[in-house]
Amino acid sequence: VPVLLFVAAPYIRRYVAGGRCKSTARMEGKVVIITGANTGIGKATARDLAQRGKVIIACRDIAKAEAAASEIRAETGNQQVIVKKLDLADTKSIREFAEKFLAEEKELHVLINNAGVMLCPYSKTVDGFEMHLGVNHLGHFLLTFLLLECLKQSAPSRIVNVSSLAHHGGRIRFHDLHGEKCYNRGLAYCHSKLANVLFTRELARRLQGKFQRQVGFTANALHPGSVSSELVRHSLVMTWLWKIFSFFLKSPCEGAQTTIYCAVAEELDSVTGQYFSDCRPAYVSPRGRDDETAKKLWSVSCELLGIQWD
């Protein structure tokens, strides 16, 4: 058995690694924002895209973000890797980030909503939203809203939402969105990842039409795979399981491939409203294809954030 495992190991690793983005597309003169790019998948995505163009790392922890940016600059030779403060658990911070970005930059070509929290003990954001819903969905919903006109004016442009296979276990519980009646942190994560898929679907539908067809303004979601990262840090059990089964987990670089693919692949220039995994279209749960729920979630999200997004 040990001999068989030794022989099979490279093939197992190749299978676990999944698809790779083969696009060599350059992004000179283009601007990319990646949220949560100071570690894990986000950092690996930033490293790749920094070899193609300008990257803005939007993070809550400035010290960690600066360390990651410095490392990426040294590795890629690209000095246009910039750190900006963004706390997705605080709508004031999101608005301040957007205001400063729009004052300093004329264009935005790719917005990658990558940051996320997972398995948090029950807590709320500054604005009173359940943490998973507030950071993973509402924070990115507001950020996208605030940057949408800039993305439109910079088209062709793309919005990439990092969701998860976990969306299959999610439900949008409109009667208890903030988990005040019943809370399970695993399910809360699943619910927020389903919200990512539904947001992408409804956003793409709203972007459809003459404008989108002419210039290629797209929004897609993805599952990065099971990745060895800090995302499970709130769960001691999951942290240990991740260590024990690390051989069967993707590295951050491998996990970033589908995000990179959605951001740069030429064949996706006019593809919108889709869900990808391993750099190819993937199955979406029936709840993730429910247009009525998507529309209602959009409306409720606008109401919670105090915005009008028609």
C-alpha to C-alpha distance for 159 and 262, rounded to whole angstroms: 9
Q: Is 19 inside a domain boundary? A: yes
Cβ count near 27 (within 10 Å):
18
C-alpha to C-alpha distance for 84 and 73, rounded to whole angstroms: 15
Residue predicted with more confidence, 2 or 104: 104
Domain that holds residue 180: 1-305
Asked if residue 80 lies in contact with residue 55, where contact means CB atoms within 8 angstroms, the answer is: yes
Number of domains in the chain: 1
Q: Is 36 inside a domain boundary? A: yes
Structure confidence by residue, pLDDT tens digits, 70-117: 999 999 999 999 999 999 999 999 999 999 999 999 999 999 999 999
Q: Which helix (H) or strand (E) holds 113?
A: strand 110-113
Whichever domain contains 191, its CATH number is 3.40.50.720
Q: Is 68 inside a domain boundary? A: yes
**pLDDT band, very low/low/confident/very high, at 229 (cuts 50, 70, 90):** low
Structure confidence by residue, pLDDT tens digits, 142-166: 999 999 999 999 999 999 999 999 9
Using the structure block, give the residue that is written with the tokens 């359940």: 130
pTM metric for this prediction = 0.90
**Catalytic residue check, 189:** yes
Q: Is 310 inside a domain boundary? A: no
Q: Is 35 inside a domain boundary? A: yes
Q: Which helix (H) or strand (E) holds 295?
A: helix 291-305
Using the structure block, give the residue that is written with the tokens 């009646």: 181
- Specify the pLDDT at position 208: 86
3-state secondary structure (DSSP) of residue 2: helix
Q: Is 154 inside a domain boundary? A: yes
- Specify the pLDDT at position 14: 57
Using the structure block, give the residue that is written with the tokens 């998973």: 132
Structure confidence by residue, pLDDT tens digits, 50-77: 999 999 999 999 999 999 999 999 999 9
From the candidates 11, 183, 189, 283, give the one annotated as an active-site residue.
Answer: 189
Q: Is the pLDDT of residue 212 over 80?
A: no
Q: Is 157 inside a domain boundary? A: yes
Structure confidence by residue, pLDDT tens digits, 242-266: 455 554 577 889 999 999 999 999 9
C-alpha to C-alpha distance for 255 and 196, rounded to whole angstroms: 18
Asked if residue 271 lies in contact with residue 218, where contact means CB atoms within 8 angstroms, the answer is: yes
- Specify the pLDDT at position 4: 54
Determine the average pLDDT of the residues in 123-134.
98
Q: Is 218 inside a domain boundary? A: yes
If we measure between CA atoms, which residue out of 56, 138, 54, 64 comes closest to residue 94? 138
Length, in residues, of the chain: 310
Structure confidence by residue, pLDDT tens digits, 18-34: 789 999 999 999 999 99
